[in-house]
């Protein structure tokens, strides 16, 4: 499993407890290291939302876009409903508020591991997302993304070929309670399409009228 927590002392305590339960634990202290450490064999991810270089929810989106489908349990100091909803919209599977009991963390992980069937899907044509810089890259070409563009594109790349409904994209791209006009999503998708063209990507985002959008290869 992958444990991503920037608090060194807490990370060591949790990692030691999980290893005593027989889990093979890889640790990371920031989003960049987390993305470099996650593989197709990762069975579950414990991911702090408040990382020093990126929002943990953006890291989760980037993991999904890279094809890492392992269950993700978010750790956070915030317990507001909209915070939990944002975590689920980013692809998270569970949510635990700090401070927490190690016994509860282990119980939640057992549930995730029991129901998990870790699969991987390839990213479209080598596209990669960097949550720390909010950037899209293909080879040596890079395009900057706004936070909303990043989250929308990650939500689409994480489910290649699948139609992502408009309401799902709205939840992924904007905070709960945000007022988003009817055509705002379409305007942002148009921006994302331009970014794909800018770096020479052959993949495209198709409009499924009345439903949503999907990312497809040519």
Give me the residue spans of the domains in the chain.
2-115, 124-216
Specify the CATH number of the domain 2-115.
3.40.50.2300
For 177-207, the pLDDT digits (tens) are 778 887 999 999 999 999 999 999 988 999 9
Instruction: Give the residue-averaged pLDDT of 156-161.
Output: 86
Q: Which residues contact 107 (CB under 8 A, 6 or more apart)?
A: none
Angle at 77 between CA 92 and CA 66, to 5 degrees: 30
For 16-45, the pLDDT digits (tens) are 999 998 889 999 999 999 999 998 788 999
The percent of residues above 90 in pLDDT, for the chain, comes to 55
More confident position, 105 or 159: 105
pTM: 0.70
The percent of residues above 70 in pLDDT, for the chain, comes to 94
Domain 124-216 sits in CATH 1.10.10.10: yes
Distance CA 95, CA 179 (A): 25
For 93-138, the pLDDT digits (tens) are 899 999 999 999 999 998 888 866 544 444 556 788 888 888 999 9
Residue 123 DSSP code: P
């Amino acid at each position: 499993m992958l444990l991503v927590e920037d608090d060194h002392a807490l990370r060591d305590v949790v990692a030691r407890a999980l290893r005593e339960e027989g889990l093979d634990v890889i640790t990371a202290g920031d989003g960049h290291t987390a993305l470099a450490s996650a593989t197709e064999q990762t069975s579950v991810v414990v991911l702090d939302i408040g990382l020093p270089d990126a929002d943990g929810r953006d890291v989760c989106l980037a993991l999904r876009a890279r094809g890492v489908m392992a269950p993700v349990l978010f750790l956070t100091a915030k317990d507001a409903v909209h915070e939990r909803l944002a975590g689920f919209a980013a692809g998270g599977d569970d949510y635990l508020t700090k401070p927490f009991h190690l016994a509860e963390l282990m119980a939640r992980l057992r549930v995730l591991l029991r129901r998990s069937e870790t699969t991987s899907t390839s990213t479209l044509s080598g596209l990669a997302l960097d949550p720390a810089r909010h950037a899209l890259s293909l080879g040596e070409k890079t395009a900057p993304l706004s936070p909303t563009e990043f989250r929308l594109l990650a939500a689409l790349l994480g489910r290649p070929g699948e139609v992502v409904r408009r309401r799902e994209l709205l939840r992924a791209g904007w905070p709960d309670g945000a007022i988003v006009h009817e055509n705002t999503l379409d305007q942002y998708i148009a921006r994302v399409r331009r970014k794909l063209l800018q770096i020479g990507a052959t993949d495209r985002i198709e409009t499924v009228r009345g439903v949503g959008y999907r990312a497809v290869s040519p």
